[in-house]
Amino acid sequence: MHSAVEISDLRPGLFIWQTYDETVKADVFSTGIERSGELYLVDPIAPDDASLAARLSKSAVNGVIVTNANHARAAAEFSRKFSAPVFLHSAARDAIDAPGVMEIGAGAETVTGLTVIAIDGAPPGEIALHCDADGGTMIVGDALINFGSHGFTFLPAKYCANARRMRKSLAQLLNYRFERMLFAHGTPIMSHGRDRLADLLES
């Protein structure tokens, strides 16, 4: 069960929405990102929220992206509501029961400027998404978190397939330019995101 949804505009064409999820006892976050006039929803939640519905009525939703097998969330509902395909890694395919599911792999571009990066060692099907616009944005699923007493850090090892491999795989994100980092679990980092990640990987 979710509480009220809070929507935050981060930049033109980039927004998040969040709510408290009683099943996981934590705030969960979703991202809306517009590229080349197309709107994509990443790990979307709360399909029945009125304020979110009003916000999404302003743009056509062109796709729903799921960042790992644990983030099916409301992807199928959003897919049906907007007749939009669901994009996910092949290892997360069984998590979604919806028509129009499209598998994406490392290096794929769901739309110009939005690149898929596979993260090994995290939950099954973990991907990050890089957008090159306006200094760059990196959207991550579970591999990195930024909330509560944890702060900005790695997903705890007990939730990883292989924590050491995940940490090594995350280093590839440094091959991309980005100021901002957005999370499925945690508040966004709005500046120096790449530098923050580099420091974390060196710690």
pTM score, two decimals?
Answer: 0.93
Q: State how many domains the chain has.
A: 1
In DSSP terms, which residues pair with 154 in a beta bridge?
144
CB 10 within 8 A of CB 190: yes
Please report whether residue 109 resides in a domain.
Answer: yes
Which pLDDT score is estimated for 170?
99
Please report whether residue 129 resides in a domain.
Answer: yes
CB 40 within 8 A of CB 62: yes
- Which 3 state secondary structure label does DSSP give 131? strand
Range of the domain at 25: 6-202
Q: What is the CATH number of the domain that holds 139?
A: 3.60.15.10
Which pLDDT score is estimated for 46?
85
pLDDT band at 189 (very low <50, low <70, confident <90, very high): very high
Q: Where are the beta strands (DSSP E) in 66-119?
A: 86-88, 101-103, 109-111, 114-118
Cβ atoms < 10 Å from Cβ of 38: 17
For 84-111, write each residue's pLDDT tens digit: 999 999 999 998 988 889 988 877 776 6
